[in-house]
Amino acid sequence: MLKLESYRHTFAAVGLVGVLLIASPTLGWFVHLPSGERFSELWILGSGHMAEDYPFNVKTNDSYLVYVGVGNHMGKAAYYAVYVKLRNMTDVLPNLTAGTSSPLEPLYEYRAFVEDGKAWEDALYFTFSNVTIQNGVAFVKTVSVNGVVLEVEKSTLWNSNNLGYCFQLFAELWIYNAEANELQYHNRFVTLMLNMTV
C-alpha cells in the first residue's frame, strides 16, 4: 500500500494547477501576451459602398461619388488624416519601399479618431471643370472636392495603354505619432484611375 508521502508531488502539481486556474483572470491584468500584427486599412469604395461601380470615364461638370475609409487594427485608438491628391501619369506617387508620401499638395483632408477594431468612412464627391483637350493634351483647371473648389492647372498626355487622358485621384493615410507630436505618413495609399473626357 502506498503512503501519503508518495503522492506529495502529485498533490503539489494538482494544487499549483488549481491555483493558476483560479488566478488566471487576475493574471491577465499583469501578463500581456503578444498580439497579432498591428496595421491600418485604407480603402476607396464605389457609390454603393462596394468595391465596384467606380467612375472611370469622367466628364466635365459631372459630379461623382466614392467613399474613403480607414480601419484601425493598431491595438489602440488612433488619430488619422487622409489626404486626397490628384496626379497626372508623370507625377510621383508615394514610395512604399522608402515609406515616403507623394510631394503633391493635398486637394482635401479628412481627420478621424478611430477606436481599435473600428472603422471610419466618409463620402468623397468630386467634379472636374474648365477642362480642355488640344493637340493630344488634356488640361484640367479646376477640381471641386466635397464642395471645395480648387485651382489645379494639371495636364496629361494621351495614354495609349488606357486609351484615354488619364489622371489618378488618390488618398494617402497619415497617423498621429504622440512621441513626435505630429502626423506621419503611414505608408498606405489607394488610387482611382480616371479617364478625362469632354
In a domain? residue 33: no
Domain of residue 77 covers 39-197
Residue 178 domain flag: yes
10-residue mean pLDDT profile of the chain (198 residues): values are: 61 63 60 72 96 95 97 96 96 94 97 97 97 94 97 92 90 96 97 90
Q: Which of 24, 10, 56, 53 is nearest to 194 (CA)?
A: 56
Residue 26 lies in a domain: no
In a domain, 53, yes or no: yes
Predicted confidence at residue 34, as pLDDT, reads 56
CATH at residue 83: 2.60.40.10
Measured distance CA(52)–CA(124) in Å, rounded:
15
Residue 3 lies in a domain: no
pLDDT value for 31? 55
Total structural domains within the chain: 1
What pLDDT score does 36 carry?
73
- Asked whether residue 17 is assigned to any structural domain, the reply reads no
Q: Does 13 reside within a domain?
A: no
User: Is residue 59, in this structure, part of any structural domain at all?
Assistant: yes
